């Protein structure tokens, strides 16, 4: 929002001293007119304040009766106006348009994909009528590889026309967009700025995947990688800077996690009013394993908001061979506000 200062015109008041016409009277020198300059009060820029009471109430509702003191974890930061979370639950389809195996986003043609996504949106609306659903496209814009690229960093960056295609698909359903990066042997400081053109767009957000951050030089896929709080902080500070410079609403940063070592020094992660951070439970498996992972690495190490990932295929590999349902996830403490389907 731009602000205009209304400055009143300066008013000149001239005071003339009239003298008589008698030639015997010595003419007094003409006095200079006085100039009255009004005091100009320049208003301070208006800051739109959020309803902190409503914000706290919603977070208490998401805590779902937790009494440990871990949740709600909201006292460290309030967002700027225009934030999505926690008033909307994001339901996202994840994948890459080059691959039918990396997620549902690339597995089906756009129209069929939207039919399937709308089914999940309606299921969440039914499970939690108090929270509107915001559909999303979560597109992997930098994909870790098992072989080195020309720069030796094992990171294949998607061409702009493919990212543009993901944005076009998102427009079909009024969805927001997440661009996800798997840095491989690169790092967030090198990869995030490459997406600045898109991150300046109001509807585009960021996702980072520590699983494929090979800071020890290993080849992606052979072991689980990691990121430090400093990596998360770089991303959030970068996004906060874009928000300030481009007068945007708060950005959302998704951080994938399913092991203890994937995110190191979580207590050092800094919050900013311009960025909302979601720690997303990214592991696949049977319901009991997913519950345990969520509790150990998302619930017990609170940052800000939580997410939960569901796999259409991998979650069915072991008994009872089914995915968790929205009503079941609504029983979690805290309730996830970001849901991702792969």
Tell whether 221 is covered by a domain. Answer: yes
Q: Domain of 168? A: 59-341
Tell whether 48 is covered by a domain. Answer: no
The DSSP result for 107-151, as a single string, is: HS-HHHHHHHHHHHHHHHHHH-TTS-EEEEEEEEEEEE-SS--TT
pLDDT one-digit tens code per residue, 295-311 = 999 999 999 999 999 99
3-state secondary structure of 54: helix
Number of compact structural domains in the chain: 1
Sign, Cα dihedral of 137, 141, 142, 146 = positive
pLDDT of residue 223: 95
Alpha-carbon gap, residue 275 to 235, rounded angstroms: 10
Alpha-carbon gap, residue 264 to 232, rounded angstroms: 10
Alpha-carbon gap, residue 43 to 241, rounded angstroms: 25
Tell whether 39 is covered by a domain. Answer: no
Looking at every residue in the chain, the average pLDDT score rounds to 88
| φ, ψ for residue 47, nearest 5 deg | -110, 120
* DSSP code at position 106: H
Tell whether 329 is covered by a domain. Answer: yes
Tell whether 47 is covered by a domain. Answer: no
pLDDT of residue 224: 96
pLDDT one-digit tens code per residue, 30-71 = 554 544 544 434 344 344 578 989 999 999 999 999 999 999
Q: Percent of the chain beyond pLDDT 70?
A: 85
Q: Which pTM value belongs to this model?
A: 0.85
Tell whether 193 is covered by a domain. Answer: yes
Tell whether 237 is covered by a domain. Answer: yes
Q: How far is CA 87 from the centre of its chain?
A: 14
pLDDT of residue 283: 94
- Do 209 and 220 meet the contact criterion of CB atoms below 8 Å apart? no
181, two tokens: 């990066």
pLDDT one-digit tens code per residue, 237-272 = 999 999 999 999 999 999 999 999 999 999 999 999
Residue whose pair of structure tokens reads 């295609």 in the numeric block: 165
- The CATH number of whichever domain residue 165 belongs to comes to 3.20.20
pLDDT of residue 16: 33
Alpha-carbon gap, residue 167 to 175, rounded angstroms: 9
Alpha-carbon gap, residue 285 to 291, rounded angstroms: 10
Cis peptide, bond prior to residue 169, ω within 30 of zero: no
Residues 6+ apart with CB under 8 A from 38: 8, 10, 11
DSSP strand pairing (133-144 vs 155-157): antiparallel
Cα torsion 199, 119, 113, 198 to 10°: value is 0
- Cβ atoms < 10 Å from Cβ of 43: 9
Tell whether 29 is covered by a domain. Answer: no
């Amino acid at each position: 929002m731009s602000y205009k200062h209304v400055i009143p015109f300066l008013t000149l008041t001239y005071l003339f001293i009239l003298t008589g016409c008698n030639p015997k009277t010595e003419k007094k020198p003409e006095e200079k007119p006085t100039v009255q300059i009004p005091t100009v009060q320049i208003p301070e820029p208006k800051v739109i304040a959020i309803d902190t009471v409503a914000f706290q109430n919603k977070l208490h509702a998401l805590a779902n009766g937790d009494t440990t003191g871990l949740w709600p974890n909201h006292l460290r930061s309030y967002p700027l106006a225009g934030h999505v979370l926690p008033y909307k639950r994001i339901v996202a389809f994840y994948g890459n348009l080059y691959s039918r195996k990396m997620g549902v986003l690339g597995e089906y043609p756009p129209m069929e994909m939207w039919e399937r996504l709308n089914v999940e949106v309606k299921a969440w609306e039914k499970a939690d009528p108090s929270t509107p659903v915001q559909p999303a496209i979560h597109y992997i814009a930098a994909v870790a590889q098992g072989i080195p690229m020309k720069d030796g960093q094992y990171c294949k960056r998607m061409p702009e026309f493919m990212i543009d295609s993901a944005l076009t698909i998102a427009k079909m359903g009024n969805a927001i967009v997440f661009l996800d990066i798997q840095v491989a042997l690169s790092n967030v400081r090198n990869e995030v700025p490459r997406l600045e053109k898109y991150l300046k767009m109001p509807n585009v957000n960021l996702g980072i995947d520590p699983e494929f951050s090979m800071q020890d030089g290993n080849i992606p896929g052979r072991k689980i990688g990691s990121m430090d709080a400093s990596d998360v902080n770089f991303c959030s500070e970068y996004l906060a800077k874009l928000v300030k410079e481009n007068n945007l609403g708060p950005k959302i940063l998704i951080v994938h996690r399913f092991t203890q070592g994937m995110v190191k020094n979580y207590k050092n992660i800094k919050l900013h009013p311009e960025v909302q951070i979601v720690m997303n439970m990214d592991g696949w498996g049977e319901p009991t394993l997913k519950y345990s992972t969520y509790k150990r690495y998302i619930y017990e190490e609170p940052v800000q908001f939580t997410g939960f990932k569901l796999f259409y295929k991998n979650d069915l590999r072991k008994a009872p061979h089914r995915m968790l349902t929205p009503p079941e996830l609504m029983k979690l403490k805290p309730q996830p506000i970001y849901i991702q389907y792969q």
